[in-house]
Amino acid sequence: MMPSDCSDSAGLSASAPGGVRAVTRCDVLGQAPFSEEPDRLFRPYLSAAYRATSTQIAGWMQAAGMQTRIDAAGNLIGRYEGLAPGAPALLIGSHIDSVRDAGRYDGMLGVLLGVELVAHYAAQGRRFPFALEVIGFGDEEGSRFPVSMLTSRAVAGLLREPPTGMQDAAGLSLQAALAGEGLALEQMPDAARRPDEILAYLEAHIEQGPVLEAENRAVGVVTAIAAQYRFRVHLQGVAGHAGTMPMTLRQDALAAAAEAILAIETIAQSGPPDLVATVGQLTVAPGVPNVVPGSVVFSIDVRAGEAAVRNAAAEEIRKALEALAARRKVTLDMSLQQDLPATPCDAALTDLLGEAARTVTGAEPRRMVSGAGHDAMVIAALAPVCMLFIRCEGGISHNPAEAVDPADVDQAFQVMTRFIEDFAGRCP
């Protein structure tokens, strides 16, 4: 068990409403020592900031009545026993890592809402036929190592072997990062849970888009999560002197990459509305003003609600890049780094969550497909999943401007309590 640290540096009252307190705690965790950088939020997996955050949340979990542990993948888990010790669990959570220069609510809000739910029931002395487990996944974003959702993959039993060969931007291996936290790479697959241990998974998350705000809704019910590809593209040209290399003879890798990025944008714009493609990373070498760039590496993220749409777009992108590489006389290496299939949420759980939302809001809930990836799409390999979206200001996410209305979050809290109680009523 981790040491208890139940302090709230915001001076928050223990009687504050669940949703409001969850927001305030997110704000507490949006600054040092819970960030690696003093002037912006960056909480990568297995960093000092990650460790401080896990310790703080564990203290809040313990104060809420949970027993806490860190699993073999570095995930934080709090357990509130059911009526019978050792009962299977309803798993509630999201992720606690962040992108660089992040907002405060992406992922973290779902974890802290889980803590508030347990605190709510523990204060009543109420237990269910199942345990409540709250999980903070360690690496959803992939902001440190090259694969996202690494730790939910471990929990879902999808890491058959230890993931060797991974390094962060500083050259530190995943093995060394785990060892620094007292964990072992070879034991990472041991984080896998058995299907008979987990009844279902509930994840609350900010929408990260503008639909709920446009429709003046506090919450929405997710029906599916879009399919996603992530590629690494390497264009290799020839570096040369910027003053002596004629334009007609250049094999400029950056100029080729610029054309490639515009081609990718055009292909995505020509598809259905749910098709999106993004180039989010680009590394240029040698990266000096007076040398024609000889090498460029960039990422491509392709998503769509249906795998067939995503796949067709990815193939069109590949053909376009092959054609321009041949024309510009640069070599192309395009490798698939991640393949996340479209994930439908469990129909029965989604209906139950929709009923809870209808009861709380008094209106038919907005049903929507998530264009963003979430740990839920991985956990679906282990147990049936459902997701609740929460309105965020301007649809902005992965940005310090990320904002939520505490009243919306409190409404989400009420929906989740209703869902848990209705779920309990359907248990044998």
**Binding-site sequence positions for Zn(2+):** 95, 106, 141, 205, 398
What is the three-state SS of 38-95? CCEECCCCCCHHHHHHHHHHHHHHHHCCCEEEECCCCCEEEEECCCCCCCCEEEEEEE
**Binding-site sequence positions:** 95, 106, 141, 205, 230, 290, 303, 398
**Binding-site sequence positions for allantoate:** 230, 290, 303
**Lookup: tokens for 411:** 């409404």
Whether residue 3 has a cis bond before it, omega within 30° of 0: no
Q: By CB neighbour count within 10 A (0-12 exposed, 13-18 middle, 19+ buried), where does 154 fall?
A: buried
Contacts of 399 (CB under 8 A, 6+ apart): 101, 102, 103
Nearest of 397, 386, 389, 384 to residue 361 by alpha carbon: 389
**Dist. CA 74–CA 139, nearest whole Å:** 9
Return left, alpha or beta for 128; rule: phi > 0 is left, psi -120 to 50 is alpha, else beta: beta
Q: How far, rounded to the nearest angstrom, does the alpha carbon of residue 330 sit from its chain's CA centroid?
A: 35
**Dist. CA 222–CA 203, nearest whole Å:** 10
